[in-house]
Structure 1
């Protein structure tokens, strides 16, 4: 079955108007040119016109019938109070497309974008690109090379970008560049991590909703937040500044004032007014690191600011506007904090639309070598001195880095500090085997559990009767578990450290639950361990 060709066009109130005399046939007119093409038969033309141009629209319809009798012309009156008002023009053309009956099995559809204001042409493009108008674009233009000056020429524009290999390749390259940027140029090999970063790149460009970055201390949350900001800035997704706040440092009555600002004299010591971090992040990005450390009152204010982009500074009745995007970071289990009443459930729901857990270095061992190279290059660029391992030293360091003895408790911070020390102490720009031995001994000592503290914790947490009832094996095992807990910032990170091997054999990780159940056997709660350890 041969499909019919159906065109939607706007009347050109200037270009289509050349009078009623015979000379009009010698002048190029967009809608007349449209139906004059030998290679394009138009079966239906829907011509949109303003009420004031009814006579012109009717004259154009008559002329179309004269030269293309097979073309059925239907006139549609749409008035724009302001043809340069994007909102009004788009809304009315959208409504027009909504009521027009489309049959794509029987008809091919074209939107003629030569006529109308530039705003109208942009709206036609958007409606076609979004498939609200299920067709292609067509453009007419004069052609001085033809003998028949009135005929002109046409060009059909297909907006299905998937058909253009060159464009697709460019988009893929741009996406790959974005993910490389977010990874800091590090050639990471972890498939799970690379997949996560690829999605973050899409979210960073396409969304302004809050992003929640979780994971252990030193996993790179603040670095990733900074790169997300830089990527959005490069793509013109925001124009403001990056404001980074460590919520763990916001304590007491000053926390509210630091975040939301305050008026002069709002409290003792408020000698001058202050805008606050949220105001400073207007049209930019606000990174709240350790967001789980905020008090409940600050959390309530933050929730309102996220939803309404407005808040009240301390001591002020006047509402302040700030159009910021939020990235929140934490090494705490916020769901557990909600259960304990330490974090608002509604705030977690609001910032949890895009949530990503950054794994620790121990869970990304395939990326250790690439990160070593990154740290070497960073040191060389900063100090202007290229440092390298000799062969034996590199092998020894990698063997240690991959071993079970390397807990990488501080994750990438530990690795960065380690490479910095090695580069600083290297003679003749070469890291020697002796340098590696000294460094690995230092790291092992730093990661050694504090058994003295764990013994004292066991004594403090358990009664003398309970301690006396424990077998030597159970006593030593408990002491080790408590020592690990005392040196970890969250239940989840302690669980990962203790169940580092068995967790890899499970489809879903329940490290926190396993550790909670173990401690509960002795009547011990995580909060008690942390309170005594700190």
Structure 2
């Protein structure tokens, strides 16, 4: 059996009493050790120095009612019992230095005595596992035992998963939050759903900066606004949502737009301007394409994020603004740091929570639910219902999920495609004709001249059926090999060019044979080129 250890503050009002009549009153601390069949092996009594006399009396009474209990007193250096920072700091230091032994002892934190501030601090430190135990709550006796009983004692385990009804309620709230972050879209991609689950936890528990990375059109802006709305619903933010596309900020106006300016700071500054960071005070600032910011703006932003203050253009005194930052980018900021385009210290500050959003082509199983979402959105905005007929829907999904659909613009491409087809659909029914036209249009929009030139080059030397079965990755490599062969006098010269490094490192002995075998994989010979 583990030993039972109770820890709690001295009740300077409820535990008061020095005369014989004190035994006729309910005193919470003494009542804990007076309970029948509930042995306390050790009681840790916390109190301020000025209440030493009362603490001595209570500890003596505890030993009297329960001689088996090891009663220990601890003076905590609290100077301001109603100051949260002072109480929390001293209690935290005490618990940090306490020798807990969870293998042999179980701990209870008594939260009935002490100031409300002390009770809250004890609760928070138990919840955070600085005090690895349960909460102990006592109450005065009721009814016929009002003057003679020892009151009630109840334990609260902060592992809420043990409470079925609470666990069910919190699970439902979590599912509701996940659904909200996904805009009600029943996404099917496992990796994406797991990503959203992590974002939901971070959004509700942390106010640290969040970095959303991923290709253009992957949904960073919409997700950032959803995170803000979720936090606002749960009481986490009072201010508004300010969204800035950093790619639109250029030159001298960037500093003024972000951080504001004082009247007369520069030519044309005819009045004070608060700036976007000030507008975000108490709320959330979403800096999309943060990699586009200049290094000067990055330096001021770093101070604003770290210290909650910054200097507007032309100002002598700093301005305060507390906000949560979400940054978005489609760049590799680590490479930008290496090239000098992005500050390393700013990246370290905003890289606390980083989430990589996948492109639509990497979530083909989510195309169908997003298709339905876009149709609903179109219908709501335009006041008329639009649907696919069965054949048209099958045709579009088949194209959308195929390798021929790279979805370079991601959800922006999908949104535009649905909007075009829905607008042209007669009587609100998208037919196979609208789908065929749209697939052709999308294919043309995704066309890249360099890819076409590779295909054209290879079409001169490969049969159509062979060309169709070559991956784009292999096509680029083969195109380069063909180009080198055409410029070489013979296969030996081409081999020496293509395998120059391997030859220098003596990793290959016959360049010609190696090239000949490579070409044979595509049914080619050097003479064909």
The TM-score, its normalising length taken from structure 1, stands at 0.80
Per-residue CA deviations over 1:147-182 (Å, capped at 9, x if unaligned) read: 463422211222233323333333333333222222
Structure 2 vs 1, CA of residues 85 and 396 (structure 1 numbering), >3 Å: closer, same or farther? same
Q: How does 1:84-483 map to 2 (within 5 A)?
A: 84-147=82-145, 149-450=148-449, 473=457
Per-residue CA deviations over 1:77-100 (Å, capped at 9, x if unaligned) read: 345322111122222223333444
| Secondary structure of 1:188 counterpart | coil
What is the alpha-carbon distance in structure 2 between the residues aligned to residue 35 and residue 411 of structure 1? 66
| Secondary structure of 1:56 counterpart | helix
* 8 A contact 2:18–2:57 mirrored in 1: no
Tell me by how many angstroms 1:249 deviates. Answer: 1.4
Tell me by how many angstroms 1:419 deviates. Answer: 1.0
Tell me by how many angstroms 1:472 deviates. Answer: 7.8
Structure 2 vs 1, CA of residues 454 and 259 (structure 1 numbering), >3 Å: closer, same or farther? farther
The one of 40, 43, 52 equivalent to 2:41 is: 43
What is the alpha-carbon distance in structure 2 between the residues aligned to residue 499 and residue 288 of structure 1? 38
Per-residue CA deviations over 1:286-305 (Å, capped at 9, x if unaligned) read: 11222222222222322332
* 8 A contact 1:48–1:77 mirrored in 2: yes
What is the alpha-carbon distance in structure 1 between the residues aligned to residue 69 and residue 252 of structure 2? 76
Aligned length: 474
Structure 2 vs 1, CA of residues 98 and 338 (structure 1 numbering), >3 Å: closer, same or farther? closer
Calculate the aligned-residue CA RMSD, in Å. Answer: 3.2
What is the alpha-carbon distance in structure 2 between the residues aligned to residue 212 and residue 180 of structure 1? 21
What is the alpha-carbon distance in structure 1 between the residues aligned to residue 413 and residue 357 of structure 2? 16
Tell me by how many angstroms 1:416 deviates. Answer: 0.7
* 8 A contact 2:258–2:275 mirrored in 1: yes
What is the alpha-carbon distance in structure 1 between the residues aligned to residue 97 and residue 130 of structure 2? 11
For structure 2, the residue ranges without an aligned partner over 5 or more in a row are 462-469, 488-529
Tell me by how many angstroms 1:389 deviates. Answer: 0.8
Tell me by how many angstroms 1:374 deviates. Answer: 0.5
| Secondary structure of 2:143 counterpart | coil
Tell me by how many angstroms 1:262 deviates. Answer: 1.0
What is the alpha-carbon distance in structure 2 between the residues aligned to residue 320 and residue 500 of structure 1? 54
* 8 A contact 2:189–2:363 mirrored in 1: yes
- What's 2:10 paired with? 11
Q: Which moved more, 1:275-284 or 1:210-219?
A: 210-219
* 8 A contact 1:26–1:149 mirrored in 2: yes
| Secondary structure of 2:236 counterpart | coil
| Secondary structure of 1:303 counterpart | helix
Q: Which moved more, 1:69-78 or 1:274-283?
A: 69-78
For structure 1, the residue ranges without an aligned partner over 5 or more in a row are 459-470, 478-497, 504-510, 523-534
* 8 A contact 1:143–1:152 mirrored in 2: yes
Per-residue CA deviations over 1:420-465 (Å, capped at 9, x if unaligned) read: 12222222222222222232233233333357x998xx9xxxxxxx
| Secondary structure of 2:299 counterpart | helix
What is the alpha-carbon distance in structure 2 between the residues aligned to residue 60 and residue 192 of structure 1? 58
| Secondary structure of 1:108 counterpart | strand
Structure 2 vs 1, CA of residues 378 and 8 (structure 1 numbering), >3 Å: closer, same or farther? same
Tell me by how many angstroms 1:475 deviates. Answer: 11
What is the alpha-carbon distance in structure 2 between the residues aligned to residue 476 and residue 220 of structure 1? 41
What is the alpha-carbon distance in structure 1 between the residues aligned to residue 236 and residue 183 of structure 2? 20
| Secondary structure of 2:426 counterpart | coil
Structure 2 vs 1, CA of residues 224 and 33 (structure 1 numbering), >3 Å: closer, same or farther? same
* 8 A contact 1:397–1:436 mirrored in 2: yes
Structure 2 vs 1, CA of residues 72 and 443 (structure 1 numbering), >3 Å: closer, same or farther? closer
Tell me by how many angstroms 1:342 deviates. Answer: 2.9
The one of 61, 70, 74 equivalent to 2:68 is: 70
Tell me by how many angstroms 1:279 deviates. Answer: 1.5
Tell me by how many angstroms 1:501 deviates. Answer: 7.2
* 8 A contact 1:27–1:150 mirrored in 2: no
Per-residue CA deviations over 1:255-281 (Å, capped at 9, x if unaligned) read: 111111111111111111111111111
Per-residue CA deviations over 1:15-38 (Å, capped at 9, x if unaligned) read: 2224413x3333222223222211
The TM-score, its normalising length taken from structure 2, stands at 0.81
* 8 A contact 1:112–1:139 mirrored in 2: yes
Tell me by how many angstroms 1:413 deviates. Answer: 1.0
